[in-house]
Structure 1
Amino acid sequence: MSEVVKGAVAALQQKLDGGFDGTAKFVIEDEGSIIIDDSGVREGDDDADVTLTADTETFQSILDGDLNPTTAFMTGKLSVDGDMGAAMKLGGLLS
């Protein structure tokens, strides 16, 4: 597991604190993937209701609270594939 993914898993566990129902995948370009589901947050590449893809810098900015996920999506820095409702709910939890 890359250090970026390891740090992101830990940060997401703290931010979400079991508050997301559904399955989401974050793809951090050139680093790996993270799965969020009813069992928690972990590295993985399973199928998900929604997949969010960003580069390392964008993903870190979202986690740090420096970049709103909706703004990242609207400016093309974050791509979303799948259930937009789940993406919006997840974005609200990360903001």
Structure 2
Amino acid sequence: MLIPERSLLAFQLTLSNARRIAVKKWEYLFVRFDYFAGDLRPKSVNEKDFRDKQDIPPLHELSNQLGQEGWELTGVNSHPGYGYGFLIFKRPKESL
């Protein structure tokens, strides 16, 4: 059975739109942490340093807080020789 050219084009456009809608968009968050002397405290979030050093939560508390906000831990990148590492979080980006 031959499909009329117009119908085939309409189907391809519909399929293209469906793929565009189905693709999830993500936002990412990078938490740098230092681990000298066993003290795992975050140092910065997306390259913004914590200003008040007294109010920095332990790494596990910050991770739990981010989880409550919809962030999922997706990766850990550590540099033992340099004494720091990164936690990489992602969550679905909200549509505008």
Q: Which category describes the TM-score, using the shorter chain as reference length?
A: under 0.3
- Report the structure number with the largest CA radius of gyration: 2
**Structure holding more strand per residue:** 2
TM-score (ref. length: structure 1): 0.24
* Higher-RCO chain (CA-CA 8 Å, sequence separation at least 6): 2
